[in-house]
Structure 1
């Protein structure tokens, strides 16, 4: 294979924007989002993953976005260590807030005071101003950039669910906020869980240490069933309908290539450590019944060294489902979730999962939804700042790049997407009509001629 078309380990380490470090402060090992350090031999090693965050003064958190994922994030935060509190809730819908409040009371005996429960599009500002140390940002991702910006301006630590934006305008806003957060020593952890999952971390460590040669490409697939949807009720305004059906509207979710497939694309980016220079893509819709999104995508990304990767996702019931996170190398390939193969398909290493019930094994894989909060709380309490916001901004932008290529049928370059003025959604938010966002599906190209 021509070495000019391969990404060497030396070049990877030199140019990587995601290869992080782990440090020890105050006697506590702290795992960064990238979770790697180098031995004296120059090889990547993994620090110990803490079972829970170290004790310390009370950390008060506010939850912004009280749906299922937000409620789950609140529980994950409470499970990360001692002296952690959820003290404020914010959402646009009273029923969502009430449900979250009831679950916290039932499951964890946590009671949120009436005066700390906020409803409306400005509820995020009220949660931020309620005396919290940290915010959990779990609304539909359209709102994430404004919420990140406000939290950083108020000097709050941040957990932000993926993705961090739905358009280039929002990505740039997050990048600016993340840069300011670094200057303020604020901690930011994103909800792309694989970077906090030990089996994924160990597999990546082995690949980057060269156990199957140099990285030359990737094949990334996520095929699953259709997501939930809500049909419109007569009493709902345009805005309420879209918000209650948010995973089916591009301006709110970014389409499923951004909202869900970002997990797998982020794994690819974590390995490659560089951004593509061009995306070529296609997609379409066959089965969705509401909203304006596609239900399948196929994207090819081109890199500056000639390397190509393929990423495809589908959400249709009744089809063969499966996930592929294959990193191709000169001497074999990796299943990023825990196996290395030679090019004859023979397994040459697999993650040594402990037997069921073995809680003492060093290979136990902690629930990554909790582990990311352990990392965040540990960083706050040790003073060893972590901030993965830039990595997640670029992962979001790469998925947006692919979506734009599929929607338009045009090749999209990195410079084009990074500098695009594309903004999705209304500029003001009211529970009423939403202008200029018809429930129509993007169609690539132009009609053929007879």
Structure 2
């Protein structure tokens, strides 16, 4: 067993490992491990030095010579370089920690495990991380990298008039966000679209939840017969692909030949401009979303209602509770407790519900003084800015705002939900 060496300094081992991986292990007389760390770091530097050098330069400058430097490619290479450096930094920190731990063992005179024992311990302790790492790497390059790219574009001037490779991009800081609230046309459009997005999310989602709950309560009533048949009929709208339903409703709400105006409202001498008046288009969209969304909520609530013990209602009857009191004190709390996360997802999903807005009327009709349609929500406006007017920078800025709103709302609501606070106590 080695003797204690109080003169052996862990700080020196850490400093040497910080300077270059493996030097701290050599200082600790862990020669095989130190040589392996040196080979790994040297191989990394030789392999990635040029890629990282160009990537970081491109990330800072976004190119210097038009038609030769492509700002988008340089930006992507720079972001990949940042991810690779983050991985390398994590491994380098692990190397420093390992050198410190070995130095402390040597200082106390504790024996070092053999190379085989070290590998076996690393396998036993790191088994979950080894199998998670491939998925994590894939997640970084499939999900995180596009998000970083979108966030980066929000701080550039990438639009139709600054499009690579003919022109180079420039970092503009928060100018795009300032333009959203300062330039009249952007300001008017942004706040109008944001207000409608919030109204659309709250009203449409609340109506589909309320209708689903109402129908679930009716069907769950013991006096109702043919429950299976009624449930099947009410779930049928969910079975039809939503884009087919939206296109059918778009034809039915058509001002000129739609069945609603010609066959229904004509009986009362009324003709509503469903497609040409923004107000009535919004009404139609909310009604359609209610129709599309209530079957899922109905099925969800039906399952929860059947799980409520009848003993609770019998005890409430003995106490003389009314129907409303039983609903308020037993049914509603239990339903919300069990389904709150899914209901929050309904709100978040409708906030970014692109399909119905685009398929029904392409976000129209047009509105004077705005560069968005009268029923465009933020996500459909982002689509138009990207694929119609090529305002990639503004689209990225608005997308970043959307992400912050949805994630902030979801996190706040999830943390306040009793099903998360008291998980397992139901």
Instruction: State the TM bucket, normalised to the shorter chain.
Output: under 0.3
Higher relative contact order (CA 8 A, sep 6+): 1
Bigger Rg over Cα: 2
Q: TM-score of the superposition, structure 1-length normalised?
A: 0.23
Per residue, is there more helix in 1 or in 2?
Answer: 2
**Larger strand share, 1 or 2:** 1
